[in-house]
Amino acid sequence: MRVRRIVISLVLAVFVFAAGMLATTGRAQADASDALQHVLEQVRYMGGSDFASLVKWARNGTPKPDDATFQPQKVEVDILNLSDGDRNAILYWLQGKGRAALYAQGASDSQIGPRRDFEAPTATPTPNAWRNIPLATASIEGANQGPIQILGGFAAVKRDGSAAIACLSFKNTDPQVALHVVFEFPLIGADGQPLGNLVLDRHGEFSPNIDIVSYGSMQAWQSNSGPRTYGDGCIQRTLPTAALPFLQARASGYHLVRVEFAGGGSWPPGAAPAAPPQGAPVPAPT
């Protein structure tokens, strides 16, 4: 019985010793090293310009400072003298990779300090509601169509299929003043099939060889880059629900339908009056 009591006492002693060792080890792993805490304390009280210099240093190869008399160079030297784990953890943080590595080294948020601007979550960009589709001639006639020269433009459809827009810049190359110019934009599907048309119907006094300018790209239109008159060269069709032609459109053609001149003539000669437009001039993106 006495031997048994001795054995039990020894087992309990070993158990208590092992538990103490585990607890000590656990505490050591749970707490940041003194050196890391010292560096974090210095960083925590850094001013804005010094901290910005430290971040720049961490993101540009961490060169060893020539003079470590003042901050942030003194902190840079202290960081370089940390153990590998501590050094990598604080550099990851300064490089914008988050606090996880510092947490793994036992540092707490209170030791790291309040979150800085560079730690703010990156805002997810809002997807563009519109997608650009190529605007191209239906033939190899190029920029000149009858008495009108095409200078540029773009076409786009809304991703939800509820709207489409086309804008066109042009110049009247006829010696007469044009009063009425009609363009048509056929929407084209992936297999080249026609899906429908947008019609731009412009009234005004379009003098010979004067550029009539509209938006040249979807980006320019969405940013309202240019005078409000640019919207006069656009046609937008908006529907209450999605339309298959807009969802399926992969390109848009363009061609001149009709021109009426101040002298009473027209192009093509004897052409019937143009159909009413589908849509309305566009002053600003939606």
- With respect to residue 160, please indicate whether it lies within any of the assigned structural domains: yes
Encoded tokens for 70 = 């003042």
Tell whether 111 and 153 lie within a shared domain. Answer: no
Overall domain count for the chain? 2
Q: What is the pLDDT of residues 100-135, one digit of tens each?
A: 989 988 899 999 988 887 776 656 678 899 999 999
Tell whether 241 and 164 lie within a shared domain. Answer: yes
- With respect to residue 82, please indicate whether it lies within any of the assigned structural domains: yes
Domain boundary among 71, 88, 119: 119
Q: Which stretch of 118-127, 139-148, 215-224, 240-249 has the lowest confidence by average pLDDT? A: 118-127
Tell whether 205 and 224 lie within a shared domain. Answer: yes
Encoded tokens for 40 = 């974090």
Q: Residue 227: is the preceding peptide bond cis (ω within 30°)?
A: no
Q: Are 130 and 218 in contact (CB under 8 A)?
A: yes
As a whole number of angstroms, the longest Cα–Cα distance in the chain is: 130
- With respect to residue 225, please indicate whether it lies within any of the assigned structural domains: yes
- With respect to residue 8, please indicate whether it lies within any of the assigned structural domains: no
pLDDT greater than 90 at residue 208: yes
Q: What is the mean pLDDT of the chain?
A: 82
Task: Please report the pLDDT score of residue 119 as a whole number.
Answer: 78
Cα 232 to Cα 20: distance, rounded to the nearest angstrom: 83
pLDDT greater than 80 at residue 66: no
Tell whether 210 and 183 lie within a shared domain. Answer: yes
Domain boundary among 93, 119, 145: 119
Find, among 236, 267, 248, the residue nearest to 133 by Cα.
248
Range of the domain at 43: 31-119
**Residues in contact with 208: Cβ distance below 8 Å, sequence separation at least 6, in sequence order:** 172, 173, 174, 175, 176, 177
Tell whether 74 and 141 lie within a shared domain. Answer: no
Find, among 233, 239, 144, the residue nearest to 182 by Cα.
233
* Averaged pLDDT, 154-162: 97
Rg (CA), the chain: 36
- With respect to residue 154, please indicate whether it lies within any of the assigned structural domains: yes
pLDDT > 70 in the chain, percent: 79
Task: Please report the pLDDT score of residue 120 as a whole number.
Answer: 66
Tell whether 114 and 137 lie within a shared domain. Answer: no
9 versus 245: which is more confidently predicted? 245
- Say which residue the tokens 């030791």 belong to: 111
User: Of 43-57, 115-129, 163-177, which has the strongest mean pLDDT?
Assistant: 163-177
| Cα torsion angle, 203, 205, 209, 210, sign | negative
Cα 67 to Cα 213: distance, rounded to the nearest angstrom: 60
Q: Are 201 and 277 in contact (CB under 8 A)?
A: yes
- With respect to residue 282, please indicate whether it lies within any of the assigned structural domains: no
- With respect to residue 37, please indicate whether it lies within any of the assigned structural domains: yes
* Averaged pLDDT, 219-235: 93
Q: Which stretch of 38-47, 205-214, 229-238 has the lowest confidence by average pLDDT? A: 38-47
Task: Please report the pLDDT score of residue 96 as a whole number.
Answer: 85
Cα 260 to Cα 245: distance, rounded to the nearest angstrom: 30
Q: Are 234 and 227 in contact (CB under 8 A)?
A: no
Tell whether 115 and 170 lie within a shared domain. Answer: no
Tell whether 147 and 251 lie within a shared domain. Answer: yes
Cα 141 to Cα 92: distance, rounded to the nearest angstrom: 59
* Averaged pLDDT, 84-96: 89
Encoded tokens for 3 = 């031997």
The CATH number covering residue 250 comes to 2.60.40
Tell whether 262 and 141 lie within a shared domain. Answer: yes
Tell whether 37 and 143 lie within a shared domain. Answer: no
Tell whether 51 and 163 lie within a shared domain. Answer: no
Tell whether 239 and 142 lie within a shared domain. Answer: yes
User: Of 33-42, 119-128, 166-175, 217-226, which has the strongest mean pLDDT?
Assistant: 166-175
Q: What is the pLDDT of residues 228-280, one digit of tens each?
A: 999 999 999 999 999 999 999 999 999 999 999 998 999 998 655 544 444 44
Domain boundary among 119, 145, 179: 119
- With respect to residue 22, please indicate whether it lies within any of the assigned structural domains: no
